[in-house]
Structures are given as structure tokens and as C-alpha cells.
Amino acid sequence: MGKVHRISRIVGRGGSWIFVAKLLVSLVAIVFAASISVTSSTYQAEFGSAVLFPAGLLATDKGFSAAPMSVSPAGTLCSNPATFNMNTTANTSIVAGDLVYHVQVNATGAPLPAFTKFNVTLSVGSNTYGPLCIQTLATTTGSIDCKFDVGTALPASPYTFRVTIQ
């Protein structure tokens, strides 16, 4: 009976360790069995862009952003163009929350014919926006911020866009 008594004592002591080991394995299993949420993100890709402008002007792409507020159109008619006499804005009708494309047109200091009018247009995918009408003065300094409302979404990715000043 000595051997049986010794084995029962070892099993009795080991039983508490077996219980603790089972408890730890159970907790690990519960943690890994917890629900895991997966979120997906959609990214837009620009395939290509072109900004075309005449000598004496420099156009700088300022990108797309959401409009914080609605804005009435300005500089959309060549009877009332946006001029370079001060830093001004020419824009299509902008609706709050829509995506707006912004391009800044600067005078480079190179001679430009006085009182020349240029049309600024934006093409995104197969859609064309504008034109906005900008005009030089006798002395052309400053810049004009041209902004185009392109709606609530961009075309399917990838897409291209082009700004033309002519």
C-alpha cells in the first residue's frame, strides 16, 4: 500500500496545478474566441493630371477638399472676370459638403498683354467644369484662386484630371 499512498499524494498535489493550467488555457481560448471587428477603407487613386497654362502665368495644384460652406459663383462670366489686381477668388457655384478642386493662378512677372481674358476649365474623368474667366490688368501682380465644385464624389478610381488656362 505504500506505492498507492505515494501516488495518491502526488496526484493530490498535482491536481491543483492541473486545475490552474486548465484555467489558464480556458482564459486564453476565451480571449482568442472574442469577436474581432474588421474595417475596410476605400482610397481614391489619381492616374494622372495635367495643368496647362500660357507663358506669364503659373498654375499651382492645391488639390481636392470638402467645402465648409456654400459660396455663390464669381468670375464665371467674362463680362465680370476675376482680375489679378489683388488676391481674388473665381469659383463655380459651391455647395457645402461637396468636393472642391482648387488651383491657384499666379502672375510670374513675365510680360502679359494688358486686359487679356483667359478661361480656366477643369476636366475630371469625362466631366468638364467651368469655365472661370480671369483677366490681366495693365500691371499684372498677385494671384487668383480658382475653385470648382465637382459634386459629392470623384469618379471611380483611378481617374485623371486636367486644368486648362487659355
Same domain, 24 and 51: no
pLDDT of residue 71: 95
Considering only residues 133 and 46, tell me which one the structure prediction assigns the higher pLDDT.
133
User: CB–CB of 29/141 below 8 Å?
Assistant: no
**What pairs with residue 146 in β-bridges?**
90, 103
User: CB–CB of 118/159 below 8 Å?
Assistant: no
Angstrom distance (rounded) from CA 59 to CA 52: 8
For residue 9, pLDDT beyond 80: no
For residue 30, pLDDT beyond 90: no
Same domain, 86 and 151: yes
For residue 43, pLDDT beyond 70: no
SS3 31: helix
What's the total number of domains in the chain? 2
pTM: 0.70
* Average pLDDT value for the chain: 82
pLDDT (average), residues 38-67: 77
Same domain, 83 and 128: yes
Same domain, 3 and 70: no
Angstrom distance (rounded) from CA 64 to CA 101: 4
Same domain, 35 and 58: no
For residue 155, pLDDT beyond 90: no
Q: Which residues form the domain of 141?
A: 47-165
Instruction: Report CA-CA distances (Å) from 80 to 63, 95, 146.
Output: 26, 22, 15
Banded model confidence at residue 26, pLDDT cuts 50, 70, 90: confident
User: CB–CB of 103/92 below 8 Å?
Assistant: no
Same domain, 60 and 137: yes
Same domain, 12 and 82: no
pLDDT (average), residues 131-159: 87
pLDDT (average), residues 13-36: 70
Same domain, 53 and 34: no
